Amino acid sequence: MKICMIGSGYVGLVTGACLAEFGMEIICVDSDKAKIATLEKGESPFYEPGLEDLIEKNMKDGGLSFSTDTKKGVRASTVIFIAVGTPANSDGSPDLSHVEAVVREVASYMNEYKIIVLKSTVPVGTGKWIKGVIEEEVKGACTFDLVSNPEFLREGAAVEDFFRPDRVVIGAENEKAIEAMKEIYNALYLIETPIVITTIETAEMIKYASNAFLATKVSFINEIANLCELVGADVHDVARGMGLDGRIGRKFLHPGPGFGGSCFPKDTKALVHIGREHNCEMEIVQSTIRVNERQRERMIEKIEQMVGDVRGKTIGILGLAFKPNTDDMREASSIPIIQGLQAKGARIKAYDPEAMEAAKKVFKDVVYCKGPYEVAEGSHALVLVTEWNQFRLLNLERIKGLLLEPVFVDLRNVYEPLHMREMGFRYCGVGR
**Residues taking part in catalysis:** 263
Neighbour-count burial of 377, counting CB atoms closer than 10 A to its CB (0-12 exposed, 13-18 middle, 19+ buried): middle
Evaluate whether 228 touches 237 at the Cβ level (below 8 Å).
no
Evaluate whether 127 touches 201 at the Cβ level (below 8 Å).
yes
Q: Which residue in 264, 388, 408, 427 binds ligand UGA (CB under 6 A)?
A: 264
376: helix, coil or strand?
helix
* Residue 310 binds to ligand UGA (criterion: CB under 6 A): no
* Residue 189 binds to ligand UGA (criterion: CB under 6 A): no
* Residue 429 binds to ligand UGA (criterion: CB under 6 A): no
Pick the closest to residue 221 from 256, 272, 171 (CA basis): 256
* Residue 261 binds to ligand UGA (criterion: CB under 6 A): yes
Q: Which 72-131 positions form the footprint of ligand UGA (CB under 6 A)?
A: 121
* Residue 252 binds to ligand UGA (criterion: CB under 6 A): yes
Q: Which 124-183 positions form the footprint of ligand UGA (CB under 6 A)?
A: 151-155
* Residue 294 binds to ligand UGA (criterion: CB under 6 A): no
Q: Which residue in 19, 26, 84, 263 binds ligand UGA (CB under 6 A)?
A: 263
**50-57 own/partner pairs: CB under 8 Å, 24+ apart:** 50/159, 50/160, 51/13, 51/14, 51/17, 51/158, 51/159, 54/17, 54/18, 54/20, 54/21, 54/159, 55/13, 55/17, 57/21
Rounded least distance, CB 256 to ligand UGA, Å: 4
* Residue 203 binds to ligand UGA (criterion: CB under 6 A): no
Rounded least distance, CB 346 to ligand UGA, Å: 23
Rounded least distance, CB 338 to ligand UGA, Å: 15
Rounded least distance, CB 2 to ligand UGA, Å: 26
Neighbour-count burial of 128, counting CB atoms closer than 10 A to its CB (0-12 exposed, 13-18 middle, 19+ buried): middle
Q: State the amino acid at position 222 in one-letter form.
A: N
Query: Under the phi-then-psi rule, with left for phi > 0, alpha for psi from -120 to 50, and beta for the rest, what region is 365?
Result: left
Rounded least distance, CB 335 to ligand UGA, Å: 12
Taking the least distance from each CB to ligand UGA, the nearer of 77 and 211 is: 211
Taking the least distance from each CB to ligand UGA, the nearer of 217 and 400 is: 217
Evaluate whether 270 touches 94 at the Cβ level (below 8 Å).
yes
Size of the site for ligand UGA (CB under 6 A): 20
Q: Rounded distance, CA 2 to CA 429, Å?
A: 51
Rounded least distance, CB 203 to ligand UGA, Å: 14
Q: Which residue in 323, 349, 400, 432 binds ligand UGA (CB under 6 A)?
A: 323
Taking the least distance from each CB to ligand UGA, the nearer of 65 and 222 is: 222
Evaluate whether 257 touches 296 at the Cβ level (below 8 Å).
yes
Query: H or E element: which one contains 304?
Result: helix 283-307
Q: Which residue in 58, 211, 216, 219 binds ligand UGA (CB under 6 A)?
A: 211
* Residue 223 binds to ligand UGA (criterion: CB under 6 A): no
Q: Rounded distance, CA 17 to CA 23, Å?
A: 10
Residue numbers at the binding site for ligand UGA (CB under 6 A): 121, 151-155, 211, 214, 218, 252-254, 256, 259-261, 263-264, 322-323
